[in-house]
Amino acid sequence: MSSYEALALEFCWTVAAVKRLVDVYGMRRARAIISALRSPGRWHFLRVNTLKASREEVLSELREEGLNAEPYDELPDAIRIPVQGPYKVEVRGRKPVYVDKAAAEAVYMGADLYAPGVLRAEGVKAGDEVVILSPKGHVVAAGVAVMDGEEMEARGRGLAVKVTESVYKVPSVRSLDLYERGLIYDQSLPSILSVHVLSPKPGWRVLDMCAAPGGKATHAAQLMRNDGEVVAVDRSPRRLERLRENVARLGTSIVKPVLADSRYLDLMGFGDFDAVILDPPCSAMGVRPKLYYERGEGDFKSLSNYQRQFLRVAAKVVRPGGLVLYTTCTLTLEENEVNIAWAVEKLDLRLVKQRYLLGSRGFKVGGVEASCVQRFEPDVHDAPGFFIALLKRPKA
């Protein structure tokens, strides 16, 4: 067995994914990154909606709620709250409930379990003490069944297990009144940083090509002081509905939701934007916590091609002299530096130096200067894996 295969087997990753990391980071760091991705990190980040409240006001409300929140000094609108854990979850005497990967990763951080996430719950009766396991057998949480196993397995609606113990505990800010009032948005540190890297100004016309659920689009509107326009396109009706809810909650009224396939926006008459935000679907290798990872060779190739289709349109719909912010939550070269090198070479976009640098420099690929792009590496930055590039269309 090769060392790639041994690492892949140990962490339940695909060999192709492990190879991607080893090729750029070497074996020791690849292991450290994969291992770091198992945990959610030490901090949970929030963005303050400065259209509605100051950071100090939000901090004092969070503290009144008993949360140990602190300002994150590197960015003016970021707050962080410590994540608790890891804790050992007792298995003995509890009936097993197997859940899908998404549900396992949510309850691992303390969320309750809902019926659509359940795969198997044989012999479980409402009121039983249960242990919750991922499809690969990771113990993620324990709790009390709220419905019978048969009803859980029907995967209808409703609370299936009230979670009482979990490996990690992330504060559930979404149940807070200040969340309902639109004072905060749950967002990772690199994602908050990326919109500061763009720094959209009041009066700008901004296009977000892959906008839902609206983290970056609403942040752009916030930095623009709700003056100008943010056209927020997504092709998923369900996700666009979540964007609409977030826009209403946050009061970012300049965000205009549009249901469309962004690969054809140039043909639909869109153009002349001061800035374009492009946060396309990616292989999500950097998303934490990650119990295992199943994306393989074909995914990396097809996603990289898909991302290029958006880049091609971004280069057309941004005005000459305008900016394109490109971000992903993944660590593969082909979805990051290789795509940016392609955009520089084939689309005549130019890389721009980033004014906020909190990650590491990227990798030199083709015409891409390593210091012009930034990467967040989970073993170093206590953040999800993330990539940020800022490009400019040259003036005509």
> Looking at the annotation, which residues are catalytic?
329
CB of 32 to ligand SAM, least distance (A): 25
Residue type present at position 220: A
Verify binding: residue 153, ligand SAM, rule CB under 6 A: no
Mask 261-290, x = binds ligand SAM (CB under 6 A)? xxx---------------x-x---------
- Applying CB under 6 A, among 105, 151, 153, 234 the residue interacting with ligand SAM is 234
Verify binding: residue 385, ligand SAM, rule CB under 6 A: no
**Residue nearer to ligand SAM on the CB measure, 234 or 337:** 234
CB of 278 to ligand SAM, least distance (A): 9
Structure tokens of 51?
A: 């259209």
Find all residues with CB under 8 Å of 7, minimum gap 6, and list them. 13, 18, 22, 27, 30, 31, 34
Verify binding: residue 211, ligand SAM, rule CB under 6 A: yes
Verify binding: residue 244, ligand SAM, rule CB under 6 A: no
Rounded Cα gap, residues 240 and 260, in angstroms? 10
Verify binding: residue 233, ligand SAM, rule CB under 6 A: yes
DSSP line for 131-168: EEE-TT--EEEEEEESS-HHHHHTT-SSEEEEEEEES-
- Applying CB under 6 A, among 236, 302, 305, 371 the residue interacting with ligand SAM is 236
**Residue nearer to ligand SAM on the CB measure, 107 or 287:** 287
Verify binding: residue 216, ligand SAM, rule CB under 6 A: yes
User: Residue 141 class from Cβ within 10 Å (0-12 exposed, 13-18 middle, 19+ buried)?
Assistant: buried
**Residue nearer to ligand SAM on the CB measure, 134 or 191:** 191
- Per DSSP, 320 falls in state E
Find all residues with CB under 8 Å of 119, minimum gap 6, and list them. 98, 99, 100, 135, 153
Binding range to ligand SAM, per CB under 6 A, among 3-11, 21-29, 260-268, 285-293: 260-268
- Applying CB under 6 A, among 89, 139, 152, 212 the residue interacting with ligand SAM is 212
CB of 133 to ligand SAM, least distance (A): 28
Verify binding: residue 239, ligand SAM, rule CB under 6 A: yes
Which three-class secondary structure state does DSSP give residue 79? strand
Rounded Cα gap, residues 82 and 171, in angstroms? 8
**Residue nearer to ligand SAM on the CB measure, 146 or 233:** 233
Verify binding: residue 249, ligand SAM, rule CB under 6 A: no
Verify binding: residue 102, ligand SAM, rule CB under 6 A: no
- Per DSSP, 120 falls in state E
Nearest C-alpha neighbor of 194 from the set 276, 119, 274, 125 = 276
Verify binding: residue 377, ligand SAM, rule CB under 6 A: no
Count interface residues toward ligand SAM (CB under 6 A). 18
- Per DSSP, 111 falls in state P
Verify binding: residue 302, ligand SAM, rule CB under 6 A: no
Do the Cβ atoms of 20 and 300 come closer than 8 Å?
Answer: yes
Rounded Cα gap, residues 391 and 276, in angstroms? 10
Verify binding: residue 319, ligand SAM, rule CB under 6 A: no
Q: Which residues are at the interface with ligand SAM (CB under 6 A)?
A: 191, 210-216, 233-236, 239, 261-263, 279, 281
